[in-house]
């Protein structure tokens, strides 16, 4: 079987969005890969940079306006206008984070530290950093390097490697 | 169901080699399973194995984070003890089913 003959050896996971769900999709997939012994490289770009910026990393939000999958506790649809009320987005986001904590899903910083402890590598996109006027010292200390797209691709070579865009 | 002989005793394992009956497990068997994985068990390894078995016994999810918070070892150390895929390897050696948690 192809899966046994050619197991995945390396994943390069790109995170370009800064909502809780986009960032956690990238973190869960990366940590999962590290746990399986798969070489893992993460690349944060555009709003995804929020997840590795010290100031924002532990207070990410989820979108409550224009998110048709959003539900009230209990399953009723979440009215878009309700999401427009100040504080609602923060409340919903805090609730989501507490739900995740119950499943032993750690806060962003701790999650990144877990990935790093297992040998995963975290990179930031140079172009997006320039755009948002961010400096290396604004980022979480575990960020290995600020890279151009070309430099990131150089790290993504090799057989049995996949690039995943969350 | 497959059988395997560890420490002179026949035990039930699944097709991937995980114990299907954790009660059949002994410390001597752990050393032999670890040997198959290329690991020499130390006291630190055994401390982690007992932690996992205890947690499994209570029906709690086996997550990397829970090992890191166990006070026995940090996450980096856990990867060091069971290189590659630590949770899977440790569970196999601890004689408990393959962990089904995503974190």
Give the pLDDT mean for A8-13. 97
> Is the Cβ pair B75, A118 closer than 8 Å?
yes
Domain presence at residue B41: yes
- A65 inside 8 A of chain B by CB: no
Q: Which residue has the higher pLDDT, A123 or B61?
A: A123
Domain presence at residue B7: yes
Query: Given a cut of 90, is residue B20 above it in pLDDT?
Result: yes
When scoring A26, A31, A37 by the number of chain B Cβ atoms within 10 A, the one with the most, hence best to mutate, is: A37
Give residue A2's pLDDT.
61
Give the pLDDT mean for A133-155. 97
A8 contacts: CB under 8 Å, gap ≥ 6: A33, A36, A38, A160, A161, A162
Give the single-character DSSP code of A17. Answer: -
Is B102 a residue of the active site?
yes
Query: Given a cut of 90, is residue B103 above it in pLDDT?
Result: no
- A7 inside 8 A of chain B by CB: no
Query: Given a cut of 90, is residue A73 above it in pLDDT?
Result: no
> What is the domain count for chain B?
1
Containing structural domain, residue B82: 2-93
CA gap A147, A12 in Å, rounded: 14
Q: Structurally, what CATH architecture does the domain formed by A10-165 represent?
A: 3-Layer(aba) Sandwich (3.40)
Domain presence at residue B103: no
Question: Average pLDDT of chain A?
Answer: 94
Query: Given a cut of 90, is residue A51 above it in pLDDT?
Result: yes
Query: Given a cut of 90, is residue B102 above it in pLDDT?
Result: no
Query: Given a cut of 70, is residue B83 above it in pLDDT?
Result: yes
Give the pLDDT mean for A142-146. 98
Interface A-B, measured as beta-carbon pairs within 8 A, has a size of 44
Q: How confident is residue A137, by pLDDT bands cut at 50, 70 and 90?
A: very high
Closest CA to A34 of B49, B94, B45, B87: B87
Residue A68 C-alpha, separation from nearest chain B C-alpha, in angstroms: 26
> Is the Cβ pair A35, B75 closer than 8 Å?
no
């Amino acid at each position: 079987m192809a899966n046994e003959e050619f197991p995945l050896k390396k994943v390069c996971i790109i995170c370009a969005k800064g909502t809780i769900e986009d960032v956690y999709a990238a973190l869960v997939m990366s940590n999962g890969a590290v746990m399986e012994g798969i070489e893992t490289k993460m690349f944060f770009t555009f709003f995804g940079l929020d997840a590795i910026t010290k100031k924002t990393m532990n207070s990410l939000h989820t979108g409550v306006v224009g998110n048709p999958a959003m539900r009230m506790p209990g399953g009723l649809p979440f009215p878009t206008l309700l999401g427009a009320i100040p504080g609602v987005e923060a409340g919903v986001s805090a609730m989501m984070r507490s739900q995740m904590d119950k499943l032993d899903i750690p806060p962003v910083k701790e999650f990144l530290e877990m990935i790093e402890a297992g040998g995963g590598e975290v990179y930031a996109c140079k172009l997006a950093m320039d755009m948002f006027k961010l400096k290396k010292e604004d980022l979480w200390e575990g960020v290995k390097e600020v890279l151009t797209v070309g430099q990131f691709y150089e790290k993504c070579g090799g057989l049995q490697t996949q690039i995943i865009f969350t | 169901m497959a059988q395997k002989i560890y420490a002179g005793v026949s035990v039930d394992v699944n097709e991937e080699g995980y114990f299907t009956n954790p009660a059949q497990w002994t410390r001597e068997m752990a050393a032999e399973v670890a040997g198959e994985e290329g690991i020499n068990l130390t006291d630190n390894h055994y401390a982690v194995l007992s932690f996992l078995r205890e947690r499994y016994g209570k029906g709690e999810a086996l997550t990397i984070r829970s090992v890191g918070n166990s006070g026995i070892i940090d996450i980096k150390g856990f990867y060091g003890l069971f290189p590659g895929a630590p949770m899977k390897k440790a569970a196999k050696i601890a004689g408990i089913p393959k962990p089904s948690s995503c974190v």
